[in-house]
Amino acid sequence: MLWLGIETSCDESAVALVRSSESGFVVVGSKVSSQIRSHQPFGGVVPELAVREHLRHLPAMLPKLLEENGVSFSEISGIAVTEGPGLAACLMIGYSYARGLALTLNIPVVGVNHLEGHLLSPFISGKRDDAFPFISLVVSGGHTLLMLAKGLGQYQKLGGTVDDAAGEAFDKVARLMGLAYPGGPEIEKMARIGNREAYDFPQSFPEKDNFNFSFSGLKTSVRYFLDKNPESKSDPKFVADVSASFQEAVVQVLARKAILAAKHYRCRMIAAAGGVVCNGRLRDVLEQSCRKAGIELTLARGELCTDNAAMIAAVAAWKSASGVNIGLGSDINPNLPL
Ligand code: KG4
Ligand code: ZN
């Protein structure tokens, strides 16, 4: 079966083709149109601007994707679209587009939870039924989730952030230091030339049986520190050291909680995904900690960490090939839980 994935939940318009077979599934093609440059001057996503950008890009992307991969409309056998969570007006664009297209092509359309897309994205290069149970760490701009994945579609939330998402913390701290949006990649760039032991920023919830995260205390601590050293913000060495120390505090807490959860629930694998998993230091620390603890680690490939439609089509492909029931809700749901 050839699935078309459509993703418009936030500030990336994305389409992808994923083919499923009994032995697994492969990404035939994937296109992402990032709106970062349009939102950059505003230091964050502006919903109205995002809607206009989706409307401008989405219709042109699909014919291009098909042409580039030598696929015709008639070969598409099903459409998978993100139905939540996300920005309501943005979700609505993809959802309406998918429904209209499905009607025209006379094929089924199914709704996919964006977070399930991230959760399963580490396995996109091949179906991994034997991966379950595993601990999933999903860290993006909107979410920080630690889940116990018991089976396809069976997820138990172990913890989440009680305030800012990890990516949001990167974005806000970057802004405090005058770095561009999105802050994650900028902080990582500065951190590469900084000393991660320069400053000792706080790490929240060190307790062993608490799988929640909190990043607002860390963010406030960085803010006070910057306020006390206003002249240093123009010193690249200072910004690099603050970036490296802040990044280290976030990365250590994410890795520690994931390992604790894997041990607590006796899982032999951790799978991590979401925009923040692009971060090289987080990938390294997760790899080192998992090796030390004898836990297998599966990381989403870089281009599949940030929002994309391959992960949306892959959920539909995996579930339909495994006989798991999938359908389409009668509406989008901006707060759809996992
Ligand atoms: O998954 P994603 O593309 O969108 C959401 O679903 O939110 O994640 C975007 C987030 C942003 O907050 C961005 O700053 C963060 O991921 N991010 C990073 C890196 N690349 C993107 N954070 C840390 N290090 C990075 N290299
Ligand atoms: Zn996302």
pLDDT digits (tens, 9 = 90+) for 245-287: 999 999 999 999 999 999 999 999 999 999 999 999 999 999 9
Q: Is the residue at 327 inside a domain?
A: no
- For 336, residues 6+ apart whose C-beta sits below 8 A from its C-beta are 83, 84, 85, 113, 114, 115
Q: Residue type for 55, please?
A: L
Q: Is residue 46 part of a domain?
A: yes
pLDDT digits 0-9 by tens, 127-169? 677 899 999 999 998 899 999 999 999 999 999 999 999 999 9
Sign for the CA dihedral angle at 225, 229, 233, 238 comes to negative
Looking at the structure, tell me whether residues 201 and 108 fall in a common domain: no
Tokens of 65: 């994707």
User: Which residues pair with residue 267 across a beta bridge?
Assistant: none
Separation CA 173–CA 215 (nearest Å) = 11
Residue 142 and residue 289 in one domain: yes
Full domain range(s) for residue 178: 130-300
**Could you tell me the distance, in angstroms and rounded to a whole number, from the CA of residue 101 to the centre of ligand 1?**
30
Tokens 């120390």 label which residue? 245
**pLDDT digits over 21-33, tens only?**
767 789 999 999 9
CB 178 within 8 A of CB 230: no
Structurally, the chain folds into a number of domains equal to 2
Neighbours of 228 (CB within 10 A): 8
For residue 306, CA distances in Å to 80, 210, 234 come to 18, 27, 30
Same structural domain, 144 and 293:
yes
The answer to whether residue 10 is domain-embedded is yes
Q: Mean of the pLDDT values across residues 75-87?
A: 96
pLDDT at 270: 98
- Distance from C-alpha of 70 to C-alpha of 58, rounded to nearest angstrom: 19
Return the number of other C-beta atoms located less than 10 Å from residue 334's C-beta. 15
Q: Is 86 in the pocket of ligand 1 (CB under 6 A)?
A: no
**Same domain, yes or no: 184 and 43:** no
User: Is 188 near ligand 1, meaning CB less than 6 Å away?
Assistant: yes
171 lines ligand 1 (CB under 6 A): yes
Sheet holding 296-299, edge to edge: 154-160, 144-151, 134-139, 269-273, 296-299
Q: How far is the CA of 61 from the centre of ligand 1 (A)?
A: 23
The mean of the pLDDT values for the chain is 93
Q: Which atom of ligand 1 is nearest to the CA of 167?
A: 12
CATH number of the CATH domain containing 58: 3.30.420.40
Same domain, 236 and 296: yes
Report CA torsion sign: 188, 190, 194, 196: negative
Mean local confidence (pLDDT), 90-116: 96
Residue 288 has pLDDT above 70, yes or no: yes
Cα(79)–Cα(332) distance, rounded to whole angstroms?
A: 15
Instruction: Assess whether 268 and 178 both reside in one domain.
Output: yes
CA distance 338 to 82: 13
Worst-scoring range by mean pLDDT, 34-43, 58-67, 167-176, 280-289? 34-43
Question: Residue 336 domain-assigned?
Answer: no
**Domain presence at residue 13:** yes
Is 265 strand, coil or helix?
Answer: coil
Same domain, 282 and 196: yes
Tell me whether residue 315 is in a domain. Answer: yes
Residue 13 has pLDDT above 80, yes or no: yes
Same domain, 109 and 150: no
How does DSSP classify residue 123?
A: G
CA of residue 167 to ligand 1 center, whole Å: 5
> Do 184 and 104 sit in the same domain of this protein?
no
CB–CB of 138/268 below 8 Å?
Answer: no
Ligand 1, pocket-test mutation among 306, 308, 312, 336, most atoms within 8 A of CB: 306
Task: Judge whether 22 lies within some domain.
Answer: yes
Residues 114 and 190 in one domain: no
Instruction: Determine which residue's CA is closest to atom 16 belonging to ligand 1.
Output: 275
Q: How far apart are CA 136 and CA 157, in angstroms?
A: 10
**60 in the same domain as 25:** yes
Residue 142 alpha carbon, nearest atom of ligand 1: 7
Q: Which bound ligand lies closest to the C-alpha atom of 112? A: 2
Q: Is residue 175 part of a domain?
A: yes
Same domain, 113 and 146: no
C-alpha 200 – ligand 1 centre gap (Å): 23
- Give the predicted TM-score (pTM) of the model: 0.94
Cα–Cα distance, 183 to 233 (Å, whole number): 16
Backbone angles phi, psi at 272, to 5 degrees: -120, 145
CA 88 – ligand 1 centroid, Å: 20
